[in-house]
Amino acid sequence: MNAAYLETFTATNRSEQMKKLAVIYYSAHGHTEHIATRVMEGAASVANTEVRLLKARDLAEAPDELLGYDAYILGSPTYLGGVSGAFKTFMDATGRLWKTQQLKGKLAAGFTVSSLPAGDKQSTLMSMFVFCMQHGMLWVGNPILPEQHAGVPYNEAANRLGSWSGLMAQSDHAAPTDGFAPGDVKTALMFGRNFAETLHRVRSDA
């Protein structure tokens, strides 16, 4: 085997192993963006994973950009029990892709932020879930066990809010953009990493 062929073979293998993941979010005051960035960091810690932060408003103008990715993590604040208007505009803009089922079989997950511990965040995650199901995507939940059950202080515990359908985080309305409990930040990192690991397992088995 000559050196030129070996170089081509190795480069091709690397290309096949690399997975592209988009973290798509809307953030009005910076809190959701802060969690999106932590989710991105967690996903990027998995080898052969390329992760990009994409703003929902930009994708609403160019939804075909979604086709360049293997998977998506969706993020929106919870406003009045659902995703923000800007995020819904992005979702609606994918109608052309839905008609041709061009996102079918891709992996997806979701996260949301509110200023109250509950805040009806579950309904926001459910709207993301239904959106992804209509596109034929595969939903990845949040398998992280709440650490307070193991004696970790509540504010430091992973998945302290006890959400399995997706990632939930909470920050007081007047808090700075990074004003989250350490447990929520830890959960975001773990959530992103778990999603990227799942992406590699599923795509390797395909």
- Predicted pLDDT at 173: 82
- Give domain limits for the chain: 19-205
- Predicted pLDDT at 6: 35
What is 19-205's CATH number, 3.10.300.10, 3.90.1170.20, 3.40.50.360, 3.40.50.620? 3.40.50.360
Mean pLDDT of successive 10-residue segments in the chain (206 residues)?
A: 36 62 96 98 97 97 97 97 97 96 97 93 98 98 96 97 97 90 98 97 69
* Residue 5 buriedness (CB in 10 A; 0-12 / 13-18 / 19+): exposed
Q: pTM for the full model? A: 0.90
Q: How far apart are CA 93 and CA 153, in angstroms?
A: 42
